[in-house]
Amino acid sequence: MTRVVLASSNPGKLRELAALLAPLSLTLVPQGALGIAAVPETGATLLANALLKARHAAQGAQLAALADDSGLEVDALGGRPGVRSARFAGEDASDGDNLRHLLEQLRDVPQPRRQARYRCVIVLVRSALDEQPLIARGSWEGHIASAPRGGGGFGYDPVFVPLGEGRSAAELDPAEKNAFSHRARALRALVAMLESASYISDP
C-alpha cells in the first residue's frame, strides 16, 4: 500500500477522494494528520494553487502528494467566483456566507441565464520538486437554483443543480455525486494516467 499525503484539510473533499481512490492500492493521509498546516492559496489559477498545495504537502511529509483545487464558475458573473470560490464573501467566509453571497449576486438573474459549472484540477507530485507532475482536469455543468436545498455535499452544493437533474448536488446520494462530480471526473482521468505508467514507484 503506497501512502500519499492529501494536501487538504477539507473533510468533504477527503471523504469524496478517499471513496474514489478506494479501489487503488493508495492510502490517502490528510496533511493535518502529519502536522502539516495549509499553505495560503495565492495562485491566480486552479492549477497554480493545486501545484502550490501539492508541493508544500510533499515537502512536509516527504511523500508523494495529491492536491486538488476547485471552484464554481458562473456565466452571468463572468466566470466568478472561480479560483476565489472559497473566499467569495471575504477572507474568512464560511460555506454558508459564500452561498448567500452568490444568491445575492444572482438575485435579478432569471433561470435561463444561471448556467454554471464546477471545475477541478488535481495534481500528483512524487516529491516537492517533481519536474513532471501529473495534471488532470474535470468539470460538472449545471445551474444555480434560487434557494438552497438538501443537506449533503459541501460548499455551493445546495444551490448547484447538475445538468439533467431536478435535485441539487446536496440532495444527491454521495455515491451519485462521486459518479458525476468535477472531482470524480478529474480523479478518473488521473487514475487512468496512473494505470498507464508506474509513476509513483518509478520517479
Residues labelled catalytic: 69
- Give the interface segment with ligand IMP, choosing from 22-30, 55-63, 130-138, 150-158 (CB under 6 A): 150-158
On whether the CB atoms of residues 14 and 68 are closer than 8 A, the answer is: no
Interface residue with ligand IMP among 60, 71, 133, 162 (CB under 6 A) is 71
Whole-number Cα distances in Å, 1 to 55, 67, 79, 83, 99? 21, 19, 40, 33, 39
DSSP state, residue 156: T
- If one asks whether residue 168 binds ligand IMP (CB under 6 A), the answer comes out as no
Whether the bond between 81 and the residue before it is cis, its omega within 30 degrees of 0, is yes
Residue type, 150: G
- Helices and strands (H and E) in the chain: how many: 5, 6
Minimum Å gap between C-beta 13 and ligand IMP is 7
On whether the CB atoms of residues 158 and 99 are closer than 8 A, the answer is: yes
Q: Which residue is nearest to ligand IMP (CB)?
A: 155
Interface residue with ligand IMP among 69, 73, 130, 171 (CB under 6 A) is 69
State the binding string over 102-131 for ligand IMP (x if CB under 6 A, else -).
----------------x-------------
Given the complex with ligand IMP, which of 48 and 128 has the nearer CB atom? Answer: 48
How many of the chain's residues bind ligand IMP (CB under 6 A)? 18
DSSP state, residue 198: -
Binding site for ligand IMP (CB under 6 A): 10, 41, 69-72, 85-86, 95, 98, 118, 153-157, 181, 183
